[in-house]
Amino acid sequence: MESEHLSSRLQQYLLKRIPISKGLGISITEASLEEIRITAPLAPNLNHHGTAFGGSVSAVAILAGWTLVYARLEAERQFPAVVIQHNEIRYVTPIDGAFAARARLARPEKWSHFLQGLSRRGKARTIVAVEVVGTHGISALFRGTYVALHATPSANVDESASENQRTSAPESPVSVRTQ
């Protein structure tokens, strides 16, 4: 049940905050802190050969990796900006139907080191591995480096705006209640 709730919350967040998610037709079908699985239909992601467009496949893989890092940080009550710094994708077979991107940390044992770096330096990197599976098995292999950055107030922002930025967390799909 928690996995379904997490999937639903994360999907709503992506659809609201990352507009390309709608165009790709994505659906988060599995979500845990160990793995995110995002599926996409073929129709909105077609190329001129009648198979999945490589850019769409890459975008779904990037979203799956980003969502995994975001969900893990959210569970730690951390809300830094998360961005992709670098990625590589290897296309193995054409995709001629719906496909799924399954994201996992490449080195889960390094997560505590990632959190320490974020706490100490305000930024940290982690690598996510994504398998994209089509109707004929693994269709693409993706590796992405994601960076988490705590916001630092800009020198051009007035003092009251800076204080507001430092004290309020960005909008999150999680309801955090303090009493």
CA distance 28 to 67: 10
- Predicted pLDDT at 103: 98
Predicted TM-score (pTM) of the model is 0.84
More confident call, 118 vs 153: 118
Residue 161 pLDDT grade (very low, low, confident, very high; cuts 50, 70, 90): very low
Half-sphere exposure of 64 (CA within 13 A, CB side): 38
9 CB contacts (<8 Å, ≥6 apart)?
173, 174
Q: What is the pLDDT of residues 6-61, one digit of tens each?
A: 999 999 999 999 999 999 999 999 999 999 999 999 999 999 999 999 999 999 99
Q: What is the pLDDT of residues 105-131, one digit of tens each?
A: 999 999 999 999 999 999 999 999 999
CA distance 124 to 90: 25
- Predicted pLDDT at 15: 96
Q: What is the mean pLDDT of the chain?
A: 87
- Predicted pLDDT at 53: 98
Residues in the chain: 179
User: What's the CATH fold of domain 2-167?
Assistant: Thiol Ester Dehydrase; Chain A (3.10.129)
CA distances from 4 to 28, 78, 103, 148 (A): 9, 22, 17, 26
Residue 178 pLDDT grade (very low, low, confident, very high; cuts 50, 70, 90): very low
For the cut 70, the answer to whether the pLDDT of residue 164 exceeds it is: no
Q: Give domain limits for the chain.
A: 2-167
More confident call, 155 vs 119: 119
* Burial (CB count <10 Å: 0-12, 13-18, 19+), residue 38: buried
| Beta strands per DSSP E along the chain | 27-31, 36-40, 81-91, 99-105, 123-134, 137-149
Nearest to 87 by CA among 130, 133, 148: 130
Strand-strand pairing, 123-134 and 36-40: unpaired
For the cut 70, the answer to whether the pLDDT of residue 65 exceeds it is: yes
Q: What is the pLDDT of residues 94-107, one digit of tens each?
A: 999 999 999 999 99
